[in-house]
Amino acid sequence: ALRACAPPSASGPAMAKKRFCRAFQPPAQRTQISAAGLTGPDRPSEALCRCLDASNGDWEDLEPPQEGEWLEAMLDRTPDQSFKDFISSRPNVPDRVRNKIYLQPLCEPWELDAPAYPEGPWPSWSALQAAVQRFYHPLEVATLPAVPMERLRPAPKDRQNAYGRQWSASQVLDSLRPMLPKDAFCTLGVTMCDLYPREEWNFVYGLASLSGRVGVFSFVRHAPDRHELRGKPEGWAQAQLLHQAMKTSLHEIGHMFGLKHCTWYNCMMRGSNGAAVEHQPNYLHLCPVCLRKLHSTIGFDIPGHYAGMLELFQPYEEVNPLYKRD
């Protein structure tokens, strides 16, 4: 099964005049708690219930979508997935053989050694890998040697757009499958090249094959525009691209574990058409429903999970408010 993160219409800025769309209505709190499996036969230990208890309002609810946003444009492709639904789907689970997450940079090797954006072309690779390691602990995370898009075999198709060469994401996945290491739970291609999933689509942020255990995602559309840099402190642009890159990476890897787009809270796994379209920014952490899904798959200390991410955010809090918000 392929899972894409961006619909055919997701290419332009938000419309000047929007209207709310009533097809999707945010779920009631009782439904949210039930979706996390905190009642009935799926109820976990009391310690885990305390970590996942949403009755005190600590997690932000979704607002009704506006025209052109993900939950308006893609509602028919975004089914609710409760914890019970997740378990019934028999998601991919790491085992003694396949237990490592591999990141595959799709670029020239020198690009990763260059200074972090905007002095160089990429966000800080060390910080990005650290985020994946802390978020998906206790799984090990490793980086494979960089490979430029042009050297992938079979060679993926490409076309031209405003970002230069735009590559077929589905054919990139075809190229990554033979490169999958034997001990890989999954391999995620990472690129600063633009991607598209089908000829009729404008672009896609990422694409993953759950059964093939490969995915690819692009950061190029997350790079700040020149007008966004006006009046910003030194270090803001680097922190901005890194934040968006972390969110994209962690979201796409979540799909590899079988997590579908979230419809319960304003969650990192929520479907999004991008910051230029969505009126409600989402967070760089999981809601109680999605957190329980991931916890059931790999197991981790939840307070330690959040403490590790907080430590990673703190150096950037003074230059970019997104980190303080998260």
Q: Please pick, among 69, 72, 252, 278, the residue that the annotation labels catalytic.
A: 252
Strand partners for 32: none
Measure the CA–CA gap between 313 and 324, rounded to whole angstroms.
8
- The pair of three-digit structure tokens given for residue 231, joined into one six-digit string: 């009046």
Measure the CA–CA gap between 102 and 94, rounded to whole angstroms.
13
Measure the CA–CA gap between 263 and 120, rounded to whole angstroms.
37
Beta strands in 132-205 (DSSP E): 140-143, 158-161, 164-168, 184-191, 194-196
Cβ atoms within 10 Å, residue 143: 16
Task: Please check whether residue 268 is in contact with residue 135, taking contact to mean a CB–CB distance below 8 angstroms.
Answer: no
Measure the CA–CA gap between 98 and 8, rounded to whole angstroms.
34
Instruction: Tokens 């494979």: give the residue.
Output: 144
Q: Is 252 a catalytic residue?
A: yes
Angstrom CA distances, 305 to 76, 138, 202, 264, 301, stand at 33, 10, 36, 21, 6
Angstrom CA distances, 112 to 116, 124, 173, 305, stand at 8, 8, 21, 27
**Residue type at 89?**
S
Residues carrying an active site annotation: 252
